[in-house]
Structure 1
Amino acid sequence: MKAKKSKVTTLDQFKDKHFGKRGTASREQLEADYETFKLGALLHEARIEKGLTQEELAEKVGTTKSYISKIENDVKEVRLSTLQKIVELGLGGRIQLSIKL
């Protein structure tokens, strides 16, 4: 019997096809936008896991519900120092950064 050729496309193959290879302007923009989106989603998940509303988190950190919402929904970029304050004071957590080359 002949083996079936897989029609599965990896995420990297999809991005290569639709946005170009790494290093091209459109691909780098996609990667940058994804990292921003991922940050908002991570913050949202952590807040939910702690059982906090956006308003409760904002109060703990000394900001507004609107600001927390904008970060979670990727409408507003957040400075690392502000993110650290949200994670540490608001969520009782710690930020871990890594750089991949």
Structure 2
Amino acid sequence: MASKKTKTFTLGEMKDKYIGEVGTAARDEYEYELRMDVLGRMIKAARLERNLTQEELGLLVGVQKAQISKLESSANSATIDTILKVFKALKAEINFNVKLEDNFVKLI
């Protein structure tokens, strides 16, 4: 009896097929939202590590608890300024990398 081979796909191939290829608007939006979701999770993890409630963090940053909740669930509506304030209030270091083609831009 012959065995059937199962075709396997990489995550990249699945994204290309179901979301869109790299460089398309749909794929760019997906990747952006994914990064914002990860950023929100990092904010929540740092807040919990500091044993702060959302309300306490909001007071440190100067925003309402609801704003912290929104940041943690999806940071895509936040400004860079707000994100920097949040991490400063958490006494957490944050680094940004800017990559142009194959080169990283260093801030001096």
After TM superposition, is the score higher than 0.5? yes
Instruction: Name the counterpart of 1:54.
Output: 54
Q: CA RMSD in A?
A: 2.2
CA deviation digits over 1:34-59, x for unaligned, max 9? 12212111111111121111011111
1:8 and 1:38 map into 2 onto residues whose CA distance is: 27
1:76 and 1:12 map into 2 onto residues whose CA distance is: 23
1:6 and 1:44 map into 2 onto residues whose CA distance is: 40
TM-score (structure 1 length as normaliser): 0.81
Structure 1 position 29 matched with structure 2 position 29? yes
Instruction: Name the counterpart of 1:83.
Output: 83
Structure 2 stretches lacking a partner, 5+ long? 102-108
| Inter-CA distance 11–49: structure 2 relative to 1 (3 Å threshold) | farther
Structure 1 stretches lacking a partner, 5+ long? none
1:13 and 1:99 map into 2 onto residues whose CA distance is: 26
* 1:99 CA drift (Å): 2.5
* 1:11 CA drift (Å): 2.3
| Inter-CA distance 61–71: structure 2 relative to 1 (3 Å threshold) | same
Structure 1 position 40 matched with structure 2 position 59? no
Instruction: Name the counterpart of 1:67.
Output: 67
| Inter-CA distance 64–17: structure 2 relative to 1 (3 Å threshold) | same
Structure that is richer in strand per residue:
2
Identity %: 38
Instruction: Name the counterpart of 1:92.
Output: 91
TM-score (structure 2 length as normaliser): 0.76
SS of residue matched to 1:52: coil
CA deviation digits over 1:7-52, x for unaligned, max 9? 5543222211211210112111111211221211111111112111
* 1:70 CA drift (Å): 0.9
- The structure 1 segments of at least 4 consecutive aligned residues displaced by more than 6 Å after TM superposition are none
Task: State the number of aligned residues.
Answer: 97
Please say if residues 84 and 94 of structure 1, whose CA atoms lie closer than 8 Å, have aligned partners that are also in contact: no
